[in-house]
């Protein structure tokens, strides 16, 4: 009899344990569903950086503005007549590469890269987006341009996706000078890969001296590496002594390496910010993160110069006669921005008082993401949407530590802001101030960066390896009191990966 009672007790305990496990798994599955909206209290958990709750904050579950707050829909650009007006039409297209090979693609105005947009510092820019036939919908995100939040182009966060037959107008004043790019932020892991992107250059109000200024967009179409649609060596005649600026843009989801043969060169800018006191380099390999930009400058020598996409047959060859093509050099040591150039004053220093200090730790762990089981990306131990939302107040000085505990590189991109790199792995930056919007964080690396919270909104912070972002390696920076009326999911067709 005792054995029978014991057997029943063990069986009951087993059933209870099984029910607990099933309940735990069911709750984990339920909690993994993606949120419908992105307010502070409706996504993950709010992180105030160890400081007091910013004045005026009130917890809320709704989808509209809180008392005294503002909607992202109201954070738009200025009115009046624009200085520059463009129209970009998104459509399916067949792209012909320089070799004659064709690629089924998505494109702006029937080509990829899309039209190069050039404006001047201080201009009011107006861009009308027309979706001709891209079934999944389209937006335009101005990568690296610190636009008002309502112009940021993130479906479900700052606007609704523009569906076939619809149009949407972006309007903003530019207050930066440098190399940027634009791309769809709707199902971006697919739409950018297939070709919905282009370059965006903001020139000084007073144009610089004459010379050659060219954008080179690196992109891989269906496994084919290209520079501006050229999948081989492109040659160009260039008179000796001509000042040359080449703006390198990486639109892929993995880093790209560039080499330069035939001349010394300077790194003139990184992510749209000029370097201070750049010095000549030779035989160094430039590693450009996914989404990042590097400008190089030199005076054309009397011999041929070759800029190569390392490890490929793709290159730009410059020479006085327009025919010479020097061989690709071997890859040299990697360029390190941490020590390059001369120091200059910045808003941040050893005695800076930070209003907010945040930590962003990247790992992988088993669990559910949007109802799917597997080994998932995790931020601070939480699988999206159980990820932190960093909350700031306008005017805060913010310190952010980014640590990569995974085994792959992550190009971390913060929308709406540029951050200053203070240190890497405990070593302080000692060269030109290194401002970035897309930071390559290698396995085992830990960066400390800083920025001023001067652009109110709800901003994405995500890995720009876009399949990583689509798999949950994303979070948000939110300003207190800012909410969004936009929602994500099948009913709205918004997929802001």
Rounded to an integer, the average pLDDT of 463-479 is: 96
DSSP string, 276-329: SS---B-SPBEEE-TT-EEEEEEE--SS-EEEEETTSS-EEEEESSS---PPPP
* Alpha carbons 133 and 342: distance in angstroms, whole number: 50
* 489 DSSP β-pair partners: 494
DSSP letter for 354, please.
Answer: P
DSSP letter for 40, please.
Answer: G
pLDDT digit string, tens, across residues 72-129? 999 999 999 999 999 999 999 999 999 999 999 999 999 999 999 999 999 999 999 9
Report which secondary-structure segment, H or E, holds 226.
strand 224-227
Task: Identify whether the C-beta of residue 478 lies closer than 8 Å to the C-beta of residue 391.
Answer: yes
Rounded to an integer, the average pLDDT of 23-31 is: 48
Question: Lowest-confidence range among 69-83, 112-126, 174-188, 199-213?
Answer: 199-213
Going by pLDDT thresholds of 50, 70 and 90, the confidence category of residue 4 is: low
* Alpha carbons 233 and 413: distance in angstroms, whole number: 31
Domains of the chain: 40-70+347-483 (2.60.40.420), 84-203 (2.60.40.420), 212-319 (2.60.40.420)
| pLDDT of amino acid 187 | 96
CA atoms within 13 A on the CB side of 92: 6
Instruction: Show the tokens assigned to 202.
Output: 């903001």
CA dihedral sign of residues 42, 43, 46, 49 = negative
State the pairing for strand pair 197-203/178-183. antiparallel
| Comparison of pLDDT for 383 and 40, the residue scoring more | 383
Burial group, residue 325, by CB count within 10 angstroms (0-12, 13-18, 19+): middle
pLDDT digit string, tens, across residues 442-455? 999 999 999 999 99
* Alpha carbons 168 and 486: distance in angstroms, whole number: 15
pLDDT digit string, tens, across residues 242-256? 999 999 999 999 999
Residue with tokens 């207190």: 480
Report which secondary-structure segment, H or E, holds 369.
strand 356-369
Instruction: Give the per-residue SS3 of 195-213.
Output: CCEEEEEEECCCCCCCCEE
| Comparison of pLDDT for 173 and 21, the residue scoring more | 173
The mean pLDDT of the chain is: 90
| Comparison of pLDDT for 263 and 11, the residue scoring more | 263
Secondary structure of residue 474 in the 3-state scheme? strand
Query: Is pLDDT above 90 for 26?
Result: no
Query: Is pLDDT above 80 for 382?
Result: yes
Report which secondary-structure segment, H or E, holds 433.
none
Give the closest residue to 204 by CA, choosing from 221, 183, 179. Answer: 179
DSSP string, 128-172: EEEESS-TT-B--EEET----GGGS--BTTTB--B-TT-EEEEEE
| pLDDT of amino acid 362 | 98
Rounded to an integer, the average pLDDT of 407-416 is: 98
| pLDDT of amino acid 95 | 95
* Alpha carbons 199 and 362: distance in angstroms, whole number: 30
Phi/psi at 32 (nearest 5 deg)?
A: -80, -10
| pLDDT of amino acid 13 | 55
| Comparison of pLDDT for 2 and 106, the residue scoring more | 106
Phi/psi at 78 (nearest 5 deg)?
A: -75, 160
| pLDDT of amino acid 496 | 81
Query: Is pLDDT above 80 for 296?
Result: yes
Query: Is pLDDT above 50 for 303?
Result: yes
Secondary structure of residue 468 in the 3-state scheme? helix
């Amino acid at each position: 009899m005792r054995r029978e009672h014991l057997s029943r007790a063990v069986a009951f305990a087993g059933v209870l344990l099984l029910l607990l496990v099933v309940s735990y798994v069911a709750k984990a599955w339920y909690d993994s569903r993606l949120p419908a909206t992105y307010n502070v209290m409706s996504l993950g958990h709010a992180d105030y950086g160890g400081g007091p709750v910013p004045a005026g904050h009130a917890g809320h579950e709704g989808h509209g503005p809180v008392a005294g707050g503002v909607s992202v829909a109201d954070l738009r650009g200025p009115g009046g007549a624009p200085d520059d007006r463009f129209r970009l039409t998104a459509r399916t297209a067949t792209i012909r590469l320089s070799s004659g090979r064709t690629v089924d693609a998505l494109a702006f105005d029937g080509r990829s890269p899309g039209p190069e947009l050039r404006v001047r510092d201080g201009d009011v820019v107006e861009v009308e987006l027309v979706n001709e036939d891209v079934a999944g919908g389209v937006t335009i995100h101005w990568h690296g341009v610190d636009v008002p939040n309502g112009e940021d182009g993130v479906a479900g966060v700052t606007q609704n996706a523009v569906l076939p037959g619809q149009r949407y107008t972006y309007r903003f004043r530019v207050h930066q000078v440098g190399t940027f790019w634009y791309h769809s932020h709707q199902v971006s892991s697919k739409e950018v890969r297939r070709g919905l992107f282009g370059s965006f250059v903001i020139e000084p109000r007073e144009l610089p001296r004459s010379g050659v200024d060219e954008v080179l967009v690196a992109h891989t179409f269906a496994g084919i590496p290209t520079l501006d649609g050229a999948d081989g060596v492109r040659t160009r005649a260039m008179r000796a002594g001509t000042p040359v600026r080449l703006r390198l843009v990486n639109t892929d989801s993995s880093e790209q390496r560039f080499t330069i043969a035939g001349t010394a060169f300077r790194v003139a800018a990184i992510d749209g910010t000029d370097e201070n006191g750049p010095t000549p380099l030779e035989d160094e390999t430039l590693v450009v993160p996914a989404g990042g930009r590097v400008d190089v400058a030199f005076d054309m020598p009397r011999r041929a110069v070759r800029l190569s996409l390392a490890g490929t047959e793709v290159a730009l060859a410059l020479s006085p006669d327009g025919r010479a093509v020097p061989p690709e050099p071997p890859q040299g040591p990697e360029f390190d921005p941490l020590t390059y150039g001369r120091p200059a004053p910045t808003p941040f220093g050893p005695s800076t008082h930070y209003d907010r200090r945040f930590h962003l730790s990247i790992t992988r762990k088993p669990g559910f993401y949007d109802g799917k089981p597997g080994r998932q990306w995790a931020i601070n131990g939480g699988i999206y949407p159980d990820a932190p939302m960093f909350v700031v107040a306008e005017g805060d000085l913010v310190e952010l530590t980014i640590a990569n505990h995974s085994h792959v590189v992550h190009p971390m991109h913060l929308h709406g802001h540029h951050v200053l790199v203070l240190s890497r792995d405990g070593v302080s930056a000692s060269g030109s101030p290194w401002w970035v919007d897309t930071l390559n964080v290698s396995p085992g690396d830990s960066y400390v960066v800083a920025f001023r919270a001067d652009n109110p909104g709800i901003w994405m912070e995500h890995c720009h390896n876009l399949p990583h972002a689509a798999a949950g390696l994303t979070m948000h920076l939110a300003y207190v009191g800012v909410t969004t009326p936009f929602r994500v999911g099948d009913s709205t067709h918004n997929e802001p990966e």
